[in-house]
Structure 1
């Protein structure tokens, strides 16, 4: 499938891994005042249409993963931050809030390779991924209150599901910035890598997932997303249906035969 045309990001597809690189390092990959929100949404929708993608890998160009909102625009009440209450609210709905809705619906697993500071909405963007691998240079901060605003992009929804209410509350209400090791201790980050080894470390996880049967991988992610919001009986009914779908996919028999061949060689 043809790659989508992007304005402020780059995209490549190799070995079933789509790598989206936020490419506005001049503004530390800010998600407002740039076309990055449009680019992220376009890629999310493309992934769901493209059967050749098993993993979406997101990273940033330059020194930052994403600085979140453009603070200079906030200071000047321009762009996404201009207007009265209703006007600002509508800009959020039509702007940055499209990112969490789009990424939450991505069927393929998402890995964030956090190359540098992920601040405010940039932190929330990382938390929208399924797995986070961080450079030792990465910093994380839910810094909205430091600016007298709230996490308007859904950060309060994502973080407490990731690390629990108490820890998410403390990080959000304090607005403090933590390093990669502290983020790993909290369960925000799965692994910390040296800066020059970050993408290699992220690709190890991406390649492992991409080697799995693709249709079953997408269904498994759907189950993982659905499970926290369902009662067990209803969830098991969905599992039964999904399993029936898997048993009727050619990839299932291919995987079974590969395992039998491997067992026979031992």
Structure 2
């Protein structure tokens, strides 16, 4: 029974930058059909997927395609699974995502294919200029506690600016941001939002520390990176970081995710 009572579609940005990651949502409408289910998504070469929301299915990636298997499908008539995808730094051009969904029941089998989704990858330098910061904003609004780094850009003085948006909801109390910057730079605070700012040159660590985080649900901290003397052309410009916070008596950690976004526009939506 090809496509009967079963349909699916793939939702993802139409344009991304090399070296960044993004979210893919797969919407599945199965009606009243229940039973064994299998979702296959072909992943183009150069992309590395990672699990986000599998709706109690078993997520696997064999190097070429994602497979999510359910022994018993979710009871809802329609549901969405999502996964993240990391683009390799040297990617460029258009890439095609294809997918199919199969369901097996006592009364027969069902199968549906998604319309292919094309993602255009633009190759960029590791530091973006201000007018290059573009993305489909609906795909980077994640639920819960998150920390998002706007892709660093050069200001009018040719200095790299790093902005981090923390979405913490109603959390209060202890919080810490810790980032490792590339070699050859000195970090200076720009916006600390009541945090203690510390830069340790020996281990290239930038830290923001709060004993009590700001009362607002979302806030931004910023720092600048000034190059030291010497040639930096051959040094990869990579920043990694974590946001650590206390939830009750438990300490938790979230990776700081880098996105090609304008934080002012994101906060205004």
Structure ID, larger Rg: 2
Question: Does the alignment reach a TM-score above 0.5?
Answer: no
TM-score (norm 2): 0.20
Higher relative contact order (CA closer than 8 Å, sequence separation 6+):
2
Larger fraction in helix: 1
